[in-house]
Structure 1
Amino acid sequence: MRSQPYGTIFTSSWLVERGYSLDLQKQYKKSNWLESIGSGAMKRTGDDIPLEGALFALQHQLGMHIHIGAKSALGLQGKAHYLKLNASRTSLFGPLKENPPKWFRDQWKDKYSLTQSDFLPVDIGVTDFDFGAYKLKISTPARAIMECLYLAPEKQPLMECYEIMEGLNNLRPNSVQQLLENCNSIKVKRLFLFMAEKAAHQWFRYINTESVDLGKGKRSIVPNGVFDQKYQITLPKELKKKDERGI
């Protein structure tokens, strides 16, 4: 009981791995030490569990790679203070084959939106963020803006993505390079490079674009937009009209 922070979940499988049998877990519940919140998960009796406490169990007990990403991660790191954040729903990202357990979906379904995709490897562009009693894996700013671009334009406005990009003036070129080279979304890579160049960040000079696979052919990001010749993408007019590259 002392090994896990307050405000977090105990998964049954994690307890079994540590020698606490299912029968013993039943005794804990009968003794009112733990109470069930669904099949395979318990909490301390009377404990209030936020979404982050449930996510702690997914990451630290079940070994899952579901993490806080996109604008939610940027907000935690002070990179989206001027943008409207959805306070009621946290943006989560995870790989395609990792589905959160039913107890997580049932209890916190109104608290998050989950995007499942393998457009980036699970082990790059994530960092430990301190929530006080525990730490969780969240996206670094470089990965988070790529996640925003992955959601664009259907679930994330492109102009807002560019506003975020303008504020990312201290990204580490090595980290950006690694993410770009391992990203398998042509749309994300072209948009990222276009916006980074347009924002004229110092770190952009150190990016080797020749080692980034940008695919072939044109990509229409939005209908009735303006075509960018260099990156072969069709963009919103308002994003192109102040393009200092003059393309």
Structure 2
Amino acid sequence: MSTDSKLKINQLLSSHPSGIVYLSSWLVTQGYSLDLQKRYRKSDWFTSIGTGAMIRSGEDVGYEGAIYALQKQAGLLIHPGGKTALALLGKSHYLELSQKRATLFGGKAERLPAWCVRYDWGIKLDYHSSSFLPSDIGLTEIELKTFSIKVSNAARALMECLYLAPKKQTLLECYQLMEGLNNLRPDLIQNLLENCSSIKVKRLFLYMAEKANHSWFQHIKTEIIDLGSGKRSIVEDGIYNRKYKITVPKELENGEL
């Protein structure tokens, strides 16, 4: 390898954090041609993890390093959400969380690339492409060991849990999570609720917030939030709540948690 090539690879590696994925298409825009990338792999600087993606040889890269690349290099808004985001934010330490799954959300038109789906991250990725919330609100930047990524803030993360309920997330667990969120900012919640298109999520969120008796709930302007019309049967054999017109688990409505 030429001296110029070695200088370029040293510059690349020294200017970027360890533990991340490098996208081939992004590297091209940074002046690293496909031919040069091939030489770097041949010289064992990089190791391919699938078409269009590489990691630094010898590094143990987690799924967070893939999220970093998707956000910072590809400009996507795919992010850890739901319980995974709450765990990363330190909001769900009292719940038994599966260490074998990571919940990810992205916009309606966003997809996980094949290399991300097929690579063994040591954890299963549960990806949900949805538009019930705008992709660009309710996200917060968190610092990991060597880099930062965007994840759902606590309010958005809980709404994502409710979006998955009751099929992939129990409502009782959602309520346990809600109980721990006593210091949310009303203005951020208001923005999310006004921009949320899921009637189910909005009704459940407000129902649980009121039931948990959080002080911030009193500052939510529920009258300007579109809660739709008609009844919503969320679960079978539940109890009907007249205020929010939803059928919820008996244990939840009766406080038998």
TM range (shorter): over 0.9
- Asked whether the 8 Å contact 2:117–2:125 carries over to 1, the reply is no
Match for residue 66 of structure 1 among 46, 65, 78 = 78
Tell me if 1:77 matches 2:89: yes
- Distance in 1, matches of 2:111 and 2:152, equals 19
Aligned position for 1:145: 158
Counterpart amino acid of residue 228 in structure 1: N
Helix, strand or coil: the match of 1:165?
Answer: helix
- Distance in 1, matches of 2:47 and 2:180, equals 45
Aligned position for 2:235: 222
Aligned position for 1:201: 214
Match for residue 4 of structure 1 among 16, 22, 29 = 16
Helix, strand or coil: the match of 1:16?
Answer: helix
- Asked whether the 8 Å contact 1:51–1:108 carries over to 2, the reply is no
- Tell me how large the CA RMSD over aligned residues is: 1.2
- Asked whether the 8 Å contact 1:70–1:147 carries over to 2, the reply is yes
Aligned position for 1:238: 251
CA deviations 1:188-209 (Å, max 9, x no partner) are 0000000011111100000000
- Distance in 1, matches of 2:128 and 2:153, equals 17
Helix, strand or coil: the match of 2:150?
Answer: strand
Match for residue 14 of structure 1 among 26, 37, 44 = 26
Helix, strand or coil: the match of 2:149?
Answer: strand
Aligned position for 1:90: 102
4+ residue runs of structure 1 moved beyond 6 angstroms? none
Where in structure 1 are there 5+ consecutive unaligned residues?
Answer: none
Counterpart amino acid of residue 207 in structure 1: I
Indicate the larger mover: 213-222 or 103-112: 103-112
1:155 Cα deviation after fit: 0.6
State the percentage of identical aligned residues: 57
1:75 Cα deviation after fit: 1.2
Tell me if 1:125 matches 2:168: no
Q: Normalising to structure 2: TM-score of the pair?
A: 0.92
1:235 Cα deviation after fit: 0.7
Q: Normalising to structure 1: TM-score of the pair?
A: 0.95
Paired residues, number: 243
Aligned position for 2:7: none
